[in-house]
Amino acid sequence: MSTQISPQTQSSDHRPRRSLRRVVAAYVSLTKPRVMELLLVVTVPAMILAEGGLPGLWLVLATLIGGAMSAGSAGAFNCYIDRDMDRKMQRTQGRPLVTGEISDRGALAFAWILGVLSVVWLAATTNWLAAALSVAAIFFYVVIYTLVLKRHSEQNIIWGGIAGCFPVLIGWAAVTGSLAWPAWIFFLVIFLWTPAHYWPLSMRYRDDYAAAGVPMLGVVRGRTTVGLQVILYTWATIAASLLLIPAAQMGWTYTIGSLIVGGYFIIEAHSLYSSAIRGQEGKPMRVFHGSIAYLSVLSILIAVDPLLPF
């Protein structure tokens, strides 16, 4: 008899722990961790560039924590507002508001709490300018992109993508308490990079976005048009990245490295367009992942260059 009771007791003992783990994981997924990681990747280089060296460790950690909460709040608001569309798209079927692991009310409360905490935290640990920029970032992503543009304009990702540029400004402001031209140029790089990064994804998931009624460029325009736009924004991104050389007095490490990684990004964009004009789908996800690699390497170059003597 004891051998029958023991497994049941063991199972009931572990069930709450597994449930808590799943709930925590569900709330974390609301914050869109992959997007958050990409946003935080550009924050530290902006801080190093602003400092002209390594900022204090506590300031870096405080800024990253505040930035993570800000980005997580925006992501949670987005999941809450877009839950009707997420139920229609294959790639979002695992989101917690679709599976029912989190209630709509719980997600909304979580988004508000994270947003308020991010502002209070940044104001207390950095300065009010960084806190105000956090508010602006959440506003742009939630109101301008998610509520106003996403469902109504094929240009949604261009202007809505401004929200993803704010971590650079937040990082710079946390160090200096102000904003300068290099910060705005880095902002411009990410602004121009965003369409070239996101539109290949809209090509890959064209049917998903169409089913949800989202007028992404990949839905309302043909592959050739999208491919050409990706090329134009890629070239513009590379041109903007070179503006940092005179504006921030970047050295040879950044100059040569940015040209090499920029050339790689341009080749991938042209390859996608070449496939499109031949009537082929090409490899949009290769461009999507390549764009992430480009921004990651460029950010490393921005972070390393001020630390080197040449």
Domain count, the chain: 2
Reading the block at residue 195, the tokens are 């369409």
Mean pLDDT within 125-139: 96
The pLDDT value recorded for residue 280 is 81
Whether 19 maps to a domain, the answer reads no
Mean pLDDT within 224-233: 93
Q: How far apart are CA 222 and CA 92, in angstroms?
A: 24
In contact, 162 and 149? CB cutoff 8 Å: no
Q: How far apart are CA 56 and CA 130, in angstroms?
A: 16
The pLDDT value recorded for residue 212 is 80
> Is residue 198 located within the same domain as residue 133?
no
Q: How far apart are CA 80 and CA 288, in angstroms?
A: 25
In contact, 217 and 154? CB cutoff 8 Å: yes
Q: Which of 94-98, 246-250, 297-301 has the lowest mean pLDDT?
A: 94-98
Q: Which of 95-104, 107-116, 126-135, 252-261 has the lowest mean pLDDT?
A: 95-104
Q: Which of 35-44, 172-181, 247-256 has the lowest mean pLDDT?
A: 35-44
Q: Which CATH number belongs to the domain containing residue 150 in this structure?
A: 1.10.357.140
In contact, 161 and 188? CB cutoff 8 Å: no
> Is residue 195 located within the same domain as residue 287?
yes
Q: What pLDDT digit, counting tens, does each position of 276-292 carry?
A: 888 887 889 999 999 99
Q: How far apart are CA 31 and CA 109, in angstroms?
A: 13
> Is residue 228 located within the same domain as residue 175?
no
> Is residue 104 located within the same domain as residue 193?
no
The pLDDT value recorded for residue 3 is 45
In contact, 55 and 176? CB cutoff 8 Å: no
Final residue of a domain: which of 116, 149, 179? Answer: 179
Task: Check pLDDT > 90 for residue 62.
Answer: yes
Whether 228 maps to a domain, the answer reads yes
Mean pLDDT within 12-28: 69
Whether 40 maps to a domain, the answer reads yes
> Is residue 139 located within the same domain as residue 34?
yes
Q: How many Cβ atoms are within 10 Å of 176's Cβ, its own excluded? A: 17
The pLDDT value recorded for residue 124 is 97
Final residue of a domain: which of 155, 179, 203? Answer: 179
What separation, in Å, do the N-terminal and C-terminal C-alpha atoms of the chain show?
A: 76
Mean pLDDT within 84-92: 86
The pLDDT value recorded for residue 18 is 52
In contact, 42 and 88? CB cutoff 8 Å: no
> Is residue 172 located within the same domain as residue 196?
no
Question: What does each C-alpha distance from 270 to 73, 110, 235 come to in angstroms?
Answer: 36, 42, 10
Q: Which residue range(s) make up the domain with 233?
A: 180-310
Whether 188 maps to a domain, the answer reads yes
Dmax over Cα atoms in the chain, in whole Å? Answer: 80
Task: Check pLDDT > 70 for residue 271.
Answer: yes
Whether 303 maps to a domain, the answer reads yes
Whether 38 maps to a domain, the answer reads yes
Whether 17 maps to a domain, the answer reads no
Task: Check pLDDT > 60 for residue 9.
Answer: no
The pLDDT value recorded for residue 2 is 42
The pLDDT value recorded for residue 171 is 96
> Is residue 80 located within the same domain as residue 154?
yes
Task: Check pLDDT > 60 for residue 6.
Answer: no
The pLDDT value recorded for residue 203 is 87
> Is residue 213 located within the same domain as residue 201?
yes
Q: Which CATH number belongs to the domain containing residue 306 in this structure?
A: 1.20.120.1780
Mean pLDDT within 6-32: 67
Q: How far apart are CA 53 and CA 291, in angstroms?
A: 27
Write down the mean pLDDT value for the chain: 89
> Is residue 147 located within the same domain as residue 66?
yes
Name the residue with higher pLDDT: 82 or 309.
82
- Grade residue 168 by pLDDT with cuts at 50, 70 and 90: very high
> Is residue 149 located within the same domain as residue 49?
yes
Whether 266 maps to a domain, the answer reads yes
Q: What pLDDT digit, counting tens, does each position of 45-61 carry?
A: 999 999 999 999 999 99
Q: How far apart are CA 203 and CA 273, in angstroms?
A: 12
> Is residue 214 located within the same domain as residue 289?
yes
Which residue's entry shows tokens 């009707």? 84
Final residue of a domain: which of 139, 156, 179? Answer: 179
> Is residue 280 located within the same domain as residue 204?
yes
